[in-house]
Every structure is written in structure tokens, then in C-alpha cells.
Amino acid sequence: MYKKNKLFKDILKNGEKYKSDWNKMMLVVEKIESINDPHHGFFGVYISSNSCCIQGTNLRNEVKQEPPVYFNDVVLDNKLLSTYSAVVSFIQWYSLVEQLKDLRKS
């Protein structure tokens, strides 16, 4: 089975400390940006105003990709809360994708 990254596991368990600390949040953002997935490519995290968008960078307009490349844009009351929400959604999705990969192998 997929063993969740320690940092990903911590934000899911102790989210409150990430909602108020940009330094902690940026560690998770950097971890997400370091992932290189064969289908989605690297993941870009774009933070602006009161929104956060996370998307796969392997976008090819000439080819319809199945499944679609990951894309999530969150707009909430403030930048940190939007980033936290987008990051948690990504981690939940990524964990599921990794678990499905493990199931296909077995």
C-alpha cells in the first residue's frame, strides 16, 4: 500500500498549525512542486491574491488526455486559507491516485 509522505500525513492530521504559518505551508507547497508524475508531469502551485491553483504541468493541447491532467483552483477569504484548502484537496487526490496505482500492480 501507498505510504503517505510524512509531511502530507502531518498536514492532514494537524491542519490548524498550517492554516496560520506560511513557513510550514511552504514546505508542503515545495513538496508538491517536487513531484514528477508520468501522466501529470510536475505540479505547479500558483498563489495570488486570495486564491491558490494547483495543476499538472503536462498540458498538451493537441492530445485529449485521459484521465485529464490535475487542475484545482480555490478562492476563499484569504491567501493562506485558500492555499491550505487547495493543498489538502491535492493531497487527498494524490493519495487516492497512488493507492489505485498500487492496486493495479497487485
In a domain, 17, yes or no: yes
Number of compact structural domains in the chain? 1
In a domain, 99, yes or no: yes
pTM above 0.75, yes or no: yes
Mean pLDDT of the chain: 86
In a domain, 94, yes or no: yes
Query: pLDDT value at position 79?
Result: 95
pLDDT at 24 over 90: yes
End-to-end CA distance of the chain: 10
Query: pLDDT value at position 1?
Result: 33
In a domain, 1, yes or no: no
Confirm if 14 and 88 have CB atoms less than 8 A apart: no
In a domain, 15, yes or no: yes
What's the alpha-carbon Rg for the chain, to the nearest Å? 14
Confirm if 101 and 67 have CB atoms less than 8 A apart: no
Full domain range(s) for residue 90: 6-105
Condensed to tens digits (0 to 9), the pLDDT of residues 71-85 reads 999 999 999 999 999
